[in-house]
Amino acid sequence: MIQPHGSTALNPRFVHDPARRAALAQEAQTLPSLLLNSAAAANAVMLGAGYFNPLTGYMNLADALSVAENLHTTSGLFWPVPIVNLTRETGIKPGTRLALRDPNVEGHPVLAVMDVQAVEPVSDAQLQTIVQQVFGTLDAQHPGVATFLSLGNTLLSGPIEVLNFSYFQSEFPDTFRTAVEIRNEIAARGWKKVVAFQTRNPMHRAHEELCRMAVERLKADGLVIHMLLGKLKEGDIPAPVRDACIRTMVEHYFPKNSVMITGYGFDMLYAGPREAVLHAVFRQNMGADYLIVGRDHAGVGNYYGPFDAQTIFDTKVPKGALQIQIFRADNTAFSKKLGRVVMMREAPDHTPEDFITLSGTKVRQMLGQGIAPPPEFSRPEVAKVLMDYYRSIGG
């Protein structure tokens, strides 16, 4: 199986030993505490689950700036996005042992214990440097930019020990999996070559066929559909509905035991190319050999070119920095001429009228009115799940 990024074995920050975890939880009640923001909490969950291997905690300012500007830490570890704990709290001292509390669970239970190595002020200019490099824009209308600039100007760095996986394990018990668990299941299934598909949306026919194409062309043994379970921007389909759509599609249209349906606990950054590289890093950590990177991967609005998330692997990722490879996908759509879903670039004799394409807005309007999209666009079983959802929220 492919090695994790930056080490020969995964180093998840979750405390697996029950006695040690109980002792930490008890100690945490005596420690000063910090209520995390959702971004820092999501980073803790990803560190705990082994997805951010080989990191042991939150980056300091020098590493955060180096990652933003050069895609590597000051020690030379390739990394595409700063993993930070920014806060508005003041008065925390270096050397403090800190209980990190979960903002997304009622009662704010302790999520992790942190050894604070450094407490550093971050200037507005430094925040803007990070934002410009990671998101490619300073536009406050960009949801990722708006979130990052709202987190605070104090950066806490140091290793953490994670006690739980926030709400992800309890709310998505059949879907949430750590990188460790996914690696173990890949091994148990005997898969030697694995393709990962990232999604924050329900999967329509085009997504389904794209996954099938990747598996067939790469001669892969299995597909891991890996869905984001954390916070999204307003208007995106909630995780339970996406989960139901994907399970329905796989149950009806994929061979048994050919697909793992899993999810991870992270908030969407909408950072386009940089987030695509982060996706590749943590898919390597979970044991995937290939990541499907499609048009406008992890994008939002018109901030990124349609294939920027693919070309960054050629222009910014040094040779050998990652073992995982990407499967480059174009827009896929149903061809009326051929009677099947194709990649548009592979049908040069087609005009736009030869494809069945619908905008997201149009699809949402149809679903809200109880109208199923054409079966060439969306499987009827999946469309029903979505129509039920839109009916429940009044369209």
Pairing label, strands 154-162, 85-87: antiparallel
Let me know: does 348 contact 335? Beta carbons within 8 Å: no
- What are φ and ψ of residue 226, in 5° steps? -120, 100
Alpha-carbon span 379 to 248, nearest angstrom: 9
* Catalytic (active site) residue 200: yes
Alpha-carbon span 190 to 391, nearest angstrom: 42
- For 354, which DSSP code? G
Length of the chain counted residue by residue: 395
Q: What is the CA radius of gyration of the chain?
A: 21
CA neighbor of 163 nearest in space, from 33, 25, 37: 25
Active-site residue identified among 21, 200, 247, 328: 200
CB atoms near residue 359 (< 10 Å): 8
DSSP string covering 357-389? ---HHHHHHHHHTTPPPPTTTS-HHHHHHHHHH
Q: Kindly provide the b/e burial profile for residues 61-83, where b requires at least 16 CB atoms within 10 angstroms of the residue's own CB.
A: bebbbbbbeebbbeeebbbbbbb
Active-site residue identified among 11, 153, 201, 331: 201
At 95, the amino acid letter reads G
Residues 6+ apart with CB under 8 A from 118: 60, 61, 94, 155, 156, 157, 158
* Catalytic (active site) residue 85: no
Which two structure tokens, joined as six digits, stand for 310?
């693919």
* Helices and strands in the chain, H and E counts: 13, 15
Q: Given its phi and psi angles, is residue 50 left (phi above 0), alpha (psi -120 to 50 degrees) or beta? A: left
Is 195 strand, coil or helix?
strand
At 235, the amino acid letter reads G
Instruction: Please give the positions annotated as active site.
Output: 200-201
